[in-house]
Structure formats: structure tokens, C-alpha cells
Structure 1
Amino acid sequence: MNTHHLKKLLIVLLTFTMIGEPILLLAQSSRSRSRQQRSDQRQDKGAEGREDQLGLGIEVRWIGKIAYDAVIASGKYIVGPGDTFVILVDNGEEPQAAEALIGAEGKLVIPYVGAVQLAGLSLTQARESIQDAVKGRFRHLDITVSLARLRSFPVNIIGQVKYPGAYMIEGAEQVSELINKAGGLLEKPAGRASKRNIQVQRLSNTGVPETTERQADLAMWQVSGDVSLNPFLLDGDQVFVPTIEDSVGISGAVHRPGIHEYMPGDRVADLITMAGGFLGDAETATAELLRISREKGTEQRIRIDLTADAEDGSSDAFRLKANDKLHVEVQEKWVTIVGEVYFPGSYLLGNGLKLDELIRKAGGFTADASLDQSTVIRKVEFAGAVKGPAQLQSVSRGNLTPAQRTYLAMKTQQAPGRLPVDFVALFERGDISQNIPLKDGDVVRIPRDIPSVLVNGFVITPGAIPFNTGYSIKNYIERAGGFNEQAKKDGIYVIQASTGNWIKAAKVQKIFPGDTIFVDGKKPVHRWRLFRETLVVLTQVATLVIAIGSIR
């Protein structure tokens, strides 16, 4: 095509834009125009706007990504009167563009090409028809025709809604948006609208529903976010909202127990999803199904193994029936944190919960927290024949071995189940080896920072001594009044506040706040008992001597 013909084409396109389009637009009702203006101001999903995306003075309708993916990109959009296309002509120099509107008879008039019947075609089919028509006339000219603005079209909604009737759909809207325009679903006592069996019907040319190609499941859409469960509406659709027919129940450890609408094909997993999921540790969840047969007048209880393989008939793939009732139980596992954190209390133990994560959940340490004295206590039961503190306390201290006396002192000073966790190493030096995984029943204690050292055992005045960075072990013992008569001066131990470990004093280089200095005692000597036992032995010897003398 020569330059002269190209100029004529552009002039015709511009003339069509300036004269033809206003005539067609005047045919639209004022109600449709006002709704279109309100639509331009909406935002986000389902909100359309206009934007000069081509930089050629052409306004292009924009919609949200969800609507674009479901309606435009998929090619499912049904083209009809009122849709506006952009015709872009590229002659290799400067591209020229103009708008063209599909007329009331459903034809898009393309200058030098002719009228192309598009109404009722999907967007994919419309594109193919336009390309075929253009290529048949202009083989050496690059002409692109694309959809610029979506029209408004009416869609009927009938059934269990407050205000059934026809409503204008502006571009791309979902079933839920049409229901909102109709005033919402009818609920008791006015009605019993289904949320899961909403039918999107296709109307024939005579207005009779032909097929129900799609269904809307708004209850499942609300909890799963699956867009296919809340389909976008097309020209020629009709929405029918029926009444609820059947239901199933769920109770126990779920977020939303109660009665839920039943759909044929529902699984145990679907019911748990609609109930908001497990309330607790899903790995420990078990369920029992009560199946009632009204026809037979029987009840059947089925134990559901939620962790079983999907092919197993007792798994969460187990198909439900109307009027089934499911009860869910979860073994809840908790850990507790007390003391100097912002949110002390009990926390649900998830998979692999570690110490640092628990501290973050609790809001972190307060300014008064003492990491040196912080501890993790775990429920531990020791097996075996070793005597415990209760047994040793019932034995006379004079009959205890040095090892037993040291063990008894250690167990009465140390909290049972205390784990050797160094909070300072973990939270100040980043030593991840101290970041232990927590278990059910663990208690994390974060005490207030009171800078003191406890001196206990065989000293004159046991008690807490204010911490002093310049004090040695000897200084703290002197502040406690010194050794008493039974003190074993080479039996001094330091119990570390951070780990609970007992260390001989000779091996300790530095004392920290919260540490305990324990002074062991000598094995006591009972003088009266020694005198009494000696006297008995001497009496026995004297008796023996007298007996021998009498024999002679």
C-alpha cells in the first residue's frame, strides 16, 4: 500500500472516531453512563479505571489482576455491543491509533476492511476474526486491534436473594459482587440461601437457561481464596441461588465448630477447612465420624485417622454424607514462659519450636531481665535404683557417704529438670548450640536482674550477698560470716546461674550475678555415741576375762 492510501485510512479512522462513536454513545442510557463514572472511581479487585497506557491519547480500561487473569488473559470474555477496541496502524515511521466501538448490531467497523461480526464471540474468537479480516486486505501493513474498554451488560440473579432482578455488570465482576448488588443472601427467618451451590447458568437466544456450566461455592471461597469458586460473570449469564438442602456438623478442636452446608463429594478435609482448620497441633489430631441413617434408623461410628495415607478408606479423603457429624480431638502441647518478658504465658508448641522463637513470640526480654539466671525446666523422670533426695533425706546424715551428701545438697539446691542452657551465650554471643528445641511442658523462667550471689551451706550466716565485681569466692564467704565448725574448706563449689552446673571453686575464674557458692561440711563425729559404743566393747571384754578366770 502506498503513502496516499495510508493517509486516507488514517483520515477515515479519525473521522469515525470523531463522528461515529459519539452517535453510538448517545444511544446509551444516562443510567449506564452514571454507573460507568462510578466504576472509574473504584479501586483494587474488580475496579476498573482508565489510563492512557499507549501514550497516544487513547483511554484504555484497566482492571485488577485477578479479573484480568480469569476473564481477559484466558480469552473467555464475551464480546458485545459497547466494547471499545483500539486500532493501531504501524507504517514503520510513527504509529497511529484510533478507537472503534462495537455497534448495536454487534459489528466492529474497520475502515478499508469492513464490518466484522463479533457480538457473542469469546475474546479469543474475536481476535481471530479481526486478524483474519485485516490480513485479507492488508498483507504488508502492520495493523493491531485490541480490546481497550469493557462494556456494561445486564445479568439476572434469581432465587434466595433480597432483591432479585437484572443488574449491570461493569466489565468484570464476580458472583459475590452481583449478590451484594442484589442485597445479599436471604438468611433465617426470611430464607435459607445456599452459599455452596450457587449456579451460573447460560441463557439461550430465547432467554431460557440451557446449561449450568459453572457453580459458585462462596463458603469454600472465603476460607480458601480459590478464585474458581467465585467465578467472573459473562454476558449471557444468569445466577440462581437455591435453598440449602443438606448439612454436616463438626465439633471439637476446630476454629469454627457448628453446622456447615453439605455438597455431594465433600471430604473430611473439606469440612475441616470450612471450620477454619485445627485448633492446636494438627499432627496429633484424630477424629470420629458419627453417621446417622434416617432410613434405617441406625448410627455408625467411624474412627478417622487424619494422618493415614490418602488411599486408605479411613483417611481425610473419606467422603462425607449428608447429616454426618465429625468430632475432632487434638493433643495440645504447650510451653510456658514466666518472668521478665513482655508477654508471659503459655504458648502452643508448634513443630520444631526453639527457644529463640519462643522469646520472640513473648515479645522479647524486658530491660530488667537477667539472662545469667534464666533457666529452662523440663519434666524428667529418672529410672533406676539410684536413691533420690526423698530417700536420702530419710537416712541419718552421719550414715551418708560424701558422694551422697553432695548429691543431696545439689538436688535440694537445684530445680529438678533444669537444662544446661546458657542464655548469655545464645542471646548475646549468638551461640546457636544453646538454641534448644522445646518440648511439651517446658517452663522457661526469666527472673528479674537482682545482682547478688547466694552463699549457702556450712557458713555462719547463709544468704544473698550483693554482687561486687571485685569480690572473690573468699570475699563472699567472709561476708557470710566465714566457715562454721563443720565446714569442709576444700569442699567449696560454685553453682552457675546460667547452666546449674557444679564446679569446684579452684576451677572458677569469675563469679557472676546469680551464682551460688556452696560450702560442703565434714562428716559429723557423734562423741556420746562413740563413748557408749566403747563402753559396751570394754564391758564385753571384762566379762570375757572374768569368765576365763573362773574356769581356771
Structure 2
Amino acid sequence: MTLLRLELILVFVLKRNPHRKVIRIIKLLKIAGLVLALFSAPWAQTLDKFKSDLLNLTNSGQKAEAGLPRPSLLDAAVDEKSYVVGPGDILLLNLLGELNYNYQITITPEGTAFIPSVGSVQVSGLTLKQAKEKMIVKVLTRYKGVEVTVTLIGLREFVVSVVGEVQEPGIYPARASQRVVDLIYQAKGLAKGASKRNIQVKRRDGTVLWVDFEKFQRAGDYKRNPYLLEGDVIFVPVRQKEIGRLGIYGAVRLPGEFEFCPGDSLFDLIELGQGVRDDALLEEAELQRLNPDGSTQTIKLNLSELYASNPGPQNIPLQPEDRVFIRFKPNPYAQAEATILGEIKLPGSYPIQEGKTKLTDLVSLAGGFAPTASLVEAQMYRTNSANLPDSDMMRLIQASPGSLKPDEFEYLKSRQSGTPGRVSVDFVRLFQQKEFSQDRLLRDGDSVYVPAPSLVVNVAGQVVRSGLVPYSKGLSATEYVKLAGGYSGQANKGKIYLVKRGSGEWTRLGGKQEIEPGDTIWIPMRPDRNFWNTFKDIVLTVGSIATTYFVIDQATK
């Protein structure tokens, strides 16, 4: 309307003043009016409809995408020969040829697949392969000259019960792509004392499957970790601790004892031990079997044949309480080593040659002693040394305390207080005084420890406050005893011992022995003196002498 008014005004002006510019403006206004009329008429409505259709097309595409089945997390591609079809599974049926159609088919709660223009096909309980074949045959009875394909595009959901020894028993949602172990994890894992190898899956048709949770964890074995079905009940029993065990020892990666599971074989037990080591002597393994009468039977095994037959007839079935022993190969190239720690410039373990490398060589390999090293207190240990039998030691241990002589009692105490495996070495004489008679040949596993100065002396035995007292150069044993509170009432003051820290040597104080940091001053207990026993011994001795004198006197008359 505004343009029309403007045009009328310009026409009126043109009659009064017919100028070319005014004529051009009137023509432009007419063109503008035609454009506005075009978009204000049905053309404008058509454009709006096009915009609306475009928006609806986008929304419908989004809805169609939202209607597709949610993708499942799979540990492997679905095997059509073993996957069992059930209500809720989604299949895609494609027809190619004279007809080109595709249908998305959801298996009904009754277990049927409804195919448009064809009819229903009962597929629940069939394997995916069987269901595909049955549906294709049904379609080809209706349509000729077409290619038919059936594809699983969505997995069904259902519920499974988890009961027994789990952290949170209950009913849990599951999908056909999940396995038993997945539901155990959903139940927060196994409870303390639960069986790991005798878990059962009870199915609606009465079938019972055995699940081996431990073998799946140790060896990644899926054979005893099946896929789930509708209505499954997972039962986790209590583990039997006293009976029903298997053991594997020696040259395996993870030796130990495991629960027995029905159907266990030799190869299963080796897999539980995570396989044999590279240094296993496969030709010389043994199976120890407990017979019903309590006797033990030894069965020789050749694991090379077991692996060669993969696993074949050598994979013998196992029984509860079986034990398998796999020997190690002899290793002539094993590297021997010794360790030196403490106040050393380069502490650590060093390769040695048994029978050739000496203690001085080891110290040299480690860069020598640090300035703070206390050679007086340094010690050498041989941890793999055999415990040599000591018949006299055993006699003293088995004897009653009252029957021991004082010296025997002291020897027993010194042996029992000693450090097992300590090698007698005087580091001061060897490294400062160069007395190489103190040098020692090293063996595999030997260790040397060089401490910093302890600056204490241990006062033990019959003192008021036994323990560590500060070291002070030049102090006597009596002065150290005073620092420990003095002698107790039972102290044997005339028999005091000094135990050297480095060598463990026991010496009786009384001379001018130097007391050094780390030494031990030991004050024994005074032996009990029974007056009546002493008097009785004197009387018996005098009587014996008198009797002897009387006999001799009578014989000479």
C-alpha cells in the first residue's frame, strides 16, 4: 500500500512536470510491486511449505536413526553357529533382484519373526544359522527370482539371577553378548571364601554349565565362560578348603595349589600355572597321585609329547589331590653374583666367578670403602650355606639344664645367639693390616654389609639396665657396666665376656682387651651354691677316703 500511494503521488507530479527521472522512478516502483505481489500470493505459501517439508525430512531422518538398535559391546564377532536367537533380537531381511526391499524384524515375545507379505516363522531357540535358513526358505516360497539375506543387527536384553557367594546377589540386566564373568563383576565380584572354579550356570531347560572364573583370569580361557541366555541362574558356591585340590610346582610361571574342577586335565593345570617356563625340563615331569588306600602313585610324564600332540592322548584327566612336579633344566651358564651394601662407594650386586673371586676383589669392584665405613663392625654372610650337623650341639640342646656343666651351658648360649651363615672375617686385619689370610673366596649369593660406626657398646646380662650405652674410647668393662646401672644381685663379676662385633669372637675379660664400637659386654649369672649339697659332697668324699685308708691298713697288717 505504501508503494501504491507513492506511485500516485509521482504520477500527479509527472503531469505537472514530465521529467525523465521521474518516469524511471515510476517504472521501478511498478516492478517492486509485482515482486511483492508474487511472494504475498500462493508462491509464498509454496515456499513456506518447502521449508516445512525440509524440516520434517530432517526430523524424520533423526527419528529413523534413533529407532536403530543400540550397538552392543562384543568381545568377538557373533558366531552364527553357536548364537541362540531369542525374543528381542533384531534381524534385517534384504530382498535383491526383481524386488528390492529390506525389512527390520524384531523377534516377538512368542519367539516368531513376522515377515511382511510372507508370514511368521518360529525361530526362538534356534541358532542364528538355523534361523537364517528357515527364514530364507519361507521367503522363497512367496517370491521367486530374488536373493535373500538375513543379518543380525541388534542383540536382545533380558535378566539373569546371580546368587551365592558374591558381594551383591540379585537380578541383573544382561545382553546376549555378555558372558558369565561379566555378570559376576556386575554383582561386585566374588565374596571371601567363594569358589572360583566350580561356579554353575543353571538354565531353564535343566542344563548345568560349569564356569571356571580362575582359569579365565589366569589364562584368558573362554571355554568355561559361556554366553548368557534368558532365565539363567548363576550360582557361586563356597570353596572347599580341605579337600579337592590340585597342585603344580617347579618350572611353571605361577606354581601353586588350585581347586579341582570336574573335567580337569593335565593341560588345564598347566594353564592355571600360566604355562611352563623356558627352562622347564619337559621330558622329566611327574604326577603324584593319592590312591584310595592312602598310598601314593608316581606317574612319569613327557610334556614334550603333550605339546606335540596338541594336547592329544597325553592330556590325561586329573583327580582330586593330584600334584604335578616339573623339573628345571640344568643351567651351566647361570651368572653367580655377590652383594655388598652399606658404607661403600658403589653398593650393589656384582658378577663373580665361584672359586676365583675373593672378598678383596668384590670391594674393589664396588669402588672401595666410603670414609664413614666401620671395618670393625663389617660382616660377611653366606645365606645359601648348608647347615652342617653338629652332634655335640644336638646333645646339649636335648639335655636338661641342670645336667649341663657351666662351660657347656656357655657354649650352648653362644651357639644359639650366633648369626646363621656369618663368615668369620676380620676386616681390619685384612684391609688395614694387609693380612690376606683373612681373605675369603666368594660363592653365589654371598653378601657383605659395612655399617657406619655405631658408637655404642651393648651391655647385656646381669646388669641393672641392659642395653646400648654410648661408646667412649678407652673405657673399661667396669666403667661400661656402671653406665648400665651397675651389676645386678645375681651377676658373676669374676667371669665377664667380651663379644667382638665383627668376628663374633668370645673372650673372657681380664687382660687389656680393647673395647670397640659395636662390641658386647656380657655378664653371666652367678651359679647357685647349695650349702647342704656341698656339705654332703664333702662328707661323701671324706668317707670314701677313710674307707680306702681302712682297707689298705687292714691289708698291710
Normalised-by-shorter TM-score class = 0.3 to 0.5
Structure number, greater radius of gyration: 2
